[in-house]
Amino acid sequence: MILPWQTAQWQQLVSRQRQGKLAHAVLLSGAQGLGKRQFAEQFAESLLCHDKGENAAACGQCRACLLLKAGSHPDIKYIEPEEEGKAIKVDQVRALTDFTVLSAQFDQGYKVVLIGPAENMNRAAANSLLKTLEEPAENTILLLYTHAPQRLLATIKSRCQRLNFVAPTYTLSTEWLKQQSVANAEQWLEIADGAPIAALNLARNDDESIASRYESGLDTLEALQSRQRDPVSIAAEWQKKDSLRAVKWLTNWVMDIIRLAQGGSVASLSCPSQQSRLTSLANRLDVDGLHAYLAHLYEASRLLGTTQVNQQLLLEEILIRWSALPKNRL
């Protein structure tokens, strides 16, 4: 099943392939947790299947599909970090040459390579891939996926057909999550920053600690404004957990507070489950101050993603500025 928010991208690739216009390399990009890898895998299966159904979906029953299911199809290769979060090494990319040139094809059809997260390629790996892209092997399709295309070499990007993925609407996402039997779909979606596959994974792992951090997040921030909590201890807590995620939540809440302050409806919010707390903040806080704070949050998030920054200090500054946000004059 193609995910409901990926049908346009699917149609695009299928029609390119039918017209013989499929590039040797396709780069799938978009936020984390939208299902790009799953999409790449489904498209690879479609290319290798002998008996594609309507809409080019793989049949799941032919010889090729059975080999795919068993993980023993000779014409598909995965170039992914050996451990999550680790680099893709040059040896892994070099093995591509053997795969495309030396190994025999199963049925004279396509060979497909999945590469990702592509931004995890180290410099040597990226340079090695570039050589492959410059001299593409016949009938070999490289499917790269990334959520950080800005970290890829421009020369790699320019040799790929681009396919962008965007997060579906709140309604579509929560409906889909409910179809997957996710309870509290709204909250999991908000925790995952609007990315449904990420929300599904979090819900299936039923990570209580992340759910309770999200639920108590705005309480903590309100306690900070009323001086019942201090920025240093909250920053230390954030740093122990996933500080980028905490800042992302704060950013989404601030955007929602601005929307509400400017008369936006609940339907316009990205975190409607927090509506009552957000509304009371929207009544209290000055909207110009919030805009300036939002700009600060964007810059801080960018810095948090780099390695040379003192995270504790950066988080403290975010929290001190939050506690000092100008109030509305009544």
Q: Which residues sit at the interface with Zn ion, rule CB under 5 A?
A: 49, 51, 58-59, 62, 65
Minimum CB separation from Zn ion for residue 136, in Å?
25
> Is the Cβ–Cβ distance between 235 and 225 less than 8 Å?
no
The DSSP code sequence of 4-67 is GGGHHHHHHHHHHHHTT---SEEEEEE-TTS-HHHHHHHHHHHHH-SS--GGG---S-SHHHHH
Choice between 75 and 119, CB closer to Zn ion:
75
Minimum CB separation from Zn ion for residue 41, in Å?
14
Please enumerate in sequence order all residues whose Cβ is within 8 A of that of 262, keeping only pairs 6 or more positions apart, or say none. 287
Choice between 110 and 170, CB closer to Zn ion:
110
Choice between 110 and 214, CB closer to Zn ion:
110
Minimum CB separation from Zn ion for residue 49, in Å?
3
Minimum CB separation from Zn ion for residue 64, in Å?
5
Minimum CB separation from Zn ion for residue 37, in Å?
20
State the Cα–Cα distance between residues 209 and 207, nearest whole angstrom: 6
Choice between 59 and 287, CB closer to Zn ion:
59
Choice between 69 and 162, CB closer to Zn ion:
69
Minimum CB separation from Zn ion for residue 45, in Å?
7
State the Cα–Cα distance between residues 6 and 31, nearest whole angstrom: 13
The DSSP code sequence of 208-224 is HHHHHHHHHHHHHHHHH
> Is the Cβ–Cβ distance between 204 and 236 less than 8 Å?
no
Choice between 52 and 245, CB closer to Zn ion:
52
Q: Which two tokens stand for residue 258?
A: 């601005």
